């Protein structure tokens, strides 16, 4: 994919509609992308799942051997340039592999951690010798990598880290002192991306090898889930790191840490989506076989609604995930061999909001789907013999690492506010335009998904009106109003998901026809309708809490009239038809 003009600016979905623009969808995957997808799926089925019991008992040598096998198949090399022994594939392929391995539990975490946040810092910010030495080994699986950012007193506030780096008298080595927590892959890693403050002030990244003097690992953490991934603390006691192993520039470690985490969040969303598909498949299989009251659970209307809800949510996660993948590829194409770190930083940051949404929406989709799938298993879902039990435990971590979902939510409105404050008068204009859309009560009556187009426009308008009210009330103190910011974030997440679903479905109709796109149309109609209702509730809460009485009453009145135009029936039947299609396929398939 060649980067030409900037057809989509990061975060612009909040301001303007993308209805006339095409997005990348799963239906657009190339033969090469489908090939690596199949390779990853076969690896999961033939190598990882048969060894699940052993690796869950923390046979970490087996985990490392599986990673080595993955390296032999090229599954560790997708994001490493060919120049350095990798495959040099696009960010879409990166997401494809993440999704395909998403049902791999702790192994998936180990694999993703290695290929993303443990390898990409060197790929994008390393010096030539660092790339030439480390990347071929990381791509092949000869070296396994880990990422060391979190400290006992520095979690979400990573830049408050206390680990220090002091140059020795000879000027040959930095001496690192401090501790790091929750290091994924620690037990069997060869390289660690470690962040420390040079002279106690300048936040900086280093490439640390396991055999450098002064490293000590703590015992394995006893975790709720993802047991087959190693997690320990790291203690650095005058750890000797050669000067040439400094990564990037002194004092600019935060550019590496925070920007690479954007790609980590994107990749996490892909893995969660793959896990959700697996959980839905388990629910379908179990409810088809389990009988109660002389019929299978699959025949009950309540079961069908749960299956339809799960499929609808996955359709949205899939749509926004692949949309974002193409944006990232367009932004970063060719930069994995560039030495222009400022440009790399800028491009990585551009889609920070979209990557945060991938992480939040994907992890909460997985949690929701796994929870409902376990519920459909009844008591058996609580028994370790059934895979859904492990999936339930494994899924919970995803809302915590790569930045908690709360932190990721807060990033979205603050990025938007920063931009509109810079452009004087923009928010007032956006508010005025949004109010006109809310006041409009005539509804298009012809054409597929015209009602859904209006619904997406309404969600955007509710978001902009709410954001305007909050910023007008609190000004530069808005950063402290986290309750309001989280609601605005949920409006933005719902908007991005709804618009992604709409754009994907419209594209399907245009490229095939209504009949072939029928399931997608039903999924879109159900999902967007429910997102609109959720947006209405969020906006009403914000109006009640933050608007003055006169403005609140006015907004309530026009919103009530607006919502009357969306009254529609048939949602229950649509969900039953969605469930029937999913059961026919015996898995998520659209």
Tell me which residues are annotated as active site.
402
Q: Residue 420: CB partners within 8 Å, gap ≥ 6?
A: 426, 427, 430, 471
191: three-class secondary structure by DSSP: strand
Is residue 114 packed enough to be buried (19+ CB in 10 Å), middle (13-18) or exposed (0-12)? buried
Q: Which structure tokens are listed for 589?
A: 């398939």
Phi and psi torsions of 103, nearest 5°: -90, 10
Strand-strand pairing, 191-198 and 231-242: unpaired
| Nearest residue to 115 (alpha-carbon basis) of 140, 92, 132 | 140
Helix axes 450-474, 518-546, angle to 10 degrees: 20
| Nearest residue to 102 (alpha-carbon basis) of 362, 380, 312 | 362
Is residue 541 packed enough to be buried (19+ CB in 10 Å), middle (13-18) or exposed (0-12)? middle
Question: 294: alpha, beta or left, given left = phi > 0 and alpha = psi -120 to 50?
Answer: left
CA distance 269 to 321: 7
SS (HEC) of 420-437? HHHCCCHHHHHHHHHHHH
| Nearest residue to 311 (alpha-carbon basis) of 532, 26, 590, 25 | 590
CA distance 196 to 162: 7
DSSP symbols for 237-269: EEEEEEGGGEES-TT-HHHHHHHHHHHHHHHHH
Distance set, CA 143 to CA 122, 255, 260 (Å) = 13, 24, 20
CA distance 571 to 522: 9
Q: Residue 330: CB partners within 8 Å, gap ≥ 6?
A: 1, 3, 7, 8
Strand-strand pairing, 191-198 and 145-148: parallel
250: three-class secondary structure by DSSP: coil
Q: Which structure tokens are listed for 417?
A: 């506010």
184 forms beta bridges with 231
CA dihedral 524, 526, 527, 532 (to 10 degrees): 110
CA distance 108 to 279: 15
């Amino acid at each position: 994919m060649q980067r030409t003009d900037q057809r989509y600016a990061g975060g612009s979905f909040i301001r303007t509609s993308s209805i006339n623009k095409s997005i990348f969808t799963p239906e657009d995957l190339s033969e090469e992308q489908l090939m690596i997808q199949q390779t990853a799926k076969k690896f999961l089925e033939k190598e990882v799942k048969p060894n699940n019991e052993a690796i869950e008992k923390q046979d970490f040598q087996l985990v490392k051997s599986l990673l080595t096998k993955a390296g032999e198949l090229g599954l560790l090399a997708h994001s490493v340039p060919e120049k350095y022994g990798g495959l040099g594939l696009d960010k879409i392929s990166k997401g494809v592999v993440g999704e395909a391995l998403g049902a791999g539990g702790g192994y998936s975490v180990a694999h993703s951690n290695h290929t993303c946040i443990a390898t990409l810092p060197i790929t994008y910010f390393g010096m030539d010798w660092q790339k030439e030495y480390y990347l071929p080994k990381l791509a092949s699986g000869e070296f396994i990598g880990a990422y060391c950012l979190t400290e006992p007193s520095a979690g979400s506030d990573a830049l408050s880290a206390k680990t220090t780096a002091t140059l020795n008298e000879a000027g040959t080595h930095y001496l690192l002192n401090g501790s790091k927590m929750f290091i994924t892959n620690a037990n069997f890693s060869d390289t660690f991306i470690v962040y420390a403050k040079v002279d106690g002030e300048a936040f900086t990244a280093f490439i640390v090898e396991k055999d450098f003097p002064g490293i000590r690992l703590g015992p394995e953490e006893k975790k709720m889930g993802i047991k087959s991934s190693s997690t320990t603390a790291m203690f650095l006691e005058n750890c000797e790191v050669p000067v040439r192993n400094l990564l990037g520039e002194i004092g600019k470690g935060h550019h590496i840490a925070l920007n690479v985490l954007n790609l980590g969040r994107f990749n996490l969303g892909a893995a969660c989506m793959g896990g959700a598909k697996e959980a839905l498949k388990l629910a379908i299989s179990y409810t088809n076989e389990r009988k109660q009251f002389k019929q299978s659970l699959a025949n009950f209307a309540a079961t069908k609604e749960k299956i339809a809800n799960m499929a609808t949510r996955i359709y949205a996660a899939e749509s926004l995930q692949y949309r974002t993948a193409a944006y990232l590829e367009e932004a970063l194409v060719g930069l994995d061999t560039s030495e222009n770190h400022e440009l790399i930083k800028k491009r990585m940051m551009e889609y920070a909001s979209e990557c945060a949404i991938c992480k939040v929406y994907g992890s909460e989709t997985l949690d929701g789907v796994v929870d409902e799938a376990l519920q459909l298993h009844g008591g058996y879902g609580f028994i370790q013999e059934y895979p859904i039990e492990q999936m339930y435990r494994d899924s919970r971590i995803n809302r915590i690492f790569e930045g908690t979902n709360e932190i990721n939510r807060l990033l979205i409105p603050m990025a938007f506010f920063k931009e509109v404050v810079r452009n004087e008068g923009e928010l007032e204009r956006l508010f005025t335009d949004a109010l006109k859309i809310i006041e409009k009560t005539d509804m298009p009556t012809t054409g597929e998904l015209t009602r859904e187009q209006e619904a997406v426009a309404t969600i955007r308008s509710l978001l902009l009106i709410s954001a305007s009210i909050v910023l007008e009330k609190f000004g530069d103190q808005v950063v402290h109003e986290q309750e309001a910011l989280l609601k605005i974030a949920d409006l933005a997440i719902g908007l991005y998901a709804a618009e992604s679903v709409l754009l994907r479905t419209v594209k399907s109709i245009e490229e095939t026809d209504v009949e072939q796109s029928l399931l997608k149309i039903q999924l879109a109609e159900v999902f967007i309708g429910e997102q609109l209702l959720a947006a209405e509730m969020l906006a009403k809460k914000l109006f009640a809490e933050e608007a003055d009485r006169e403005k609140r009453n006015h907004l309530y009145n026009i919103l009530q009239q607006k919502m009357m135009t969306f009254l529609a029936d048939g949602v229950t039947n649509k969900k039953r038809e969605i469930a029937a299609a999913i059961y026919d396929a015996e898995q998520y398939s659209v």
